[in-house]
Amino acid sequence: MTRSLDQMVEPVGQHQNRGGRIASVLPIGIRRIRTSTAALPMGLGFLGFLVLISLVSVLWTPYSPAATGTGPVSAAPSGAHWFGTDSVGSDVFSRTVAAGRTDVLYTLTVVAIALLVGSVWGAIVGFFGGWLEWATLRLLEVVQAFPALLMALFIISIVGPGTVKVILVAAIIPLPDFVRLARAEVLTKKNWQFAEAARMVGNRPMVVLFKHLMPNSSRPLLAYASISAAWVVGNIAALGYIGLGIQPDAVEWGSMIARGQSDVVSGAWWESFFPGIGILLLAIGFQLVGDGLSSRNQGEER
Partner 1 sequence: MAVETVASPSPRGFVVPGPVRQIGRRLGGAFLVVFGVVTLTFLLTRAFAADPTDLLSPPNATAADRAAVRSRLGLSDPLPVQYLHYLRDLLHGNLGTSYLTGRPVTSDLLDRLPATAELATYALILGILGGVTAGVLAAVFEGSIFDRMLRVVTSAGLALPQFWVALMLLWLFFVKFGLLPGPTGRLPIGMDPPPKVTGFYLIDSIVTGHLSDFGPALAQLCLPVLTLSCGVWSPLARGARSAMVLALKSDYVRTARALGLSRRRIWFVYALRNALLPVITMLAGTVAWAFSGSVLVEGAFGWPGAGHYALNALEGSDFPAVEGFVLYASILYVIVYQILDLAYDLADPRIRS
Task: Catalog residues that contact partner 1 under the rule CB under 8 A.
Answer: 10-13, 15-27, 29-34, 138-139, 141-143, 145-147, 149-151, 153-155, 157-159, 230, 233-234, 237-238, 241-242, 244, 254, 257, 261, 264-267, 269, 272-273, 275-276, 279-280, 283-284, 287
Shortest approach of partner 1 to residue 284 CB, angstroms?
A: 5
- Closest CB to partner 1 among residues 82, 146: 146
HSE toward the beta carbon, residue 205, CA cutoff 13 A: 10
Please provide the DSSP assignment of 203-270 as one string.
--HHHIIIIIIHHHTHHHHHHHHHHHHHHHHHHHHHHHHHTSSS-TTS--HHHHHHHHHHHHTTT-TH
Min dist CB 300 to partner 1, Å, is 19
d(CA 54, CA 253): 13
CA dist 261 and 247 (Å) reads 18
Q: How far is the CB of 210 from partner 1 (least distance, A)?
A: 28
∠ at Cα 134 (133, 136), nearest 5°?
65
Minimum Å gap between C-beta 16 and partner 1 is 4
Residue 58 CB partners (closer than 8 Å, separation 6+): 101
Q: Which is nearer to partner 1, 209 or 288 (CB)?
A: 288
Compute the least distance from the CB of residue 29 to partner 1, in Å: 5
Closest CB to partner 1 among residues 15, 211: 15
79 or 160: CB nearest partner 1: 160
Decide whether 195 or 282 has the Cβ nearer to partner 1: 282
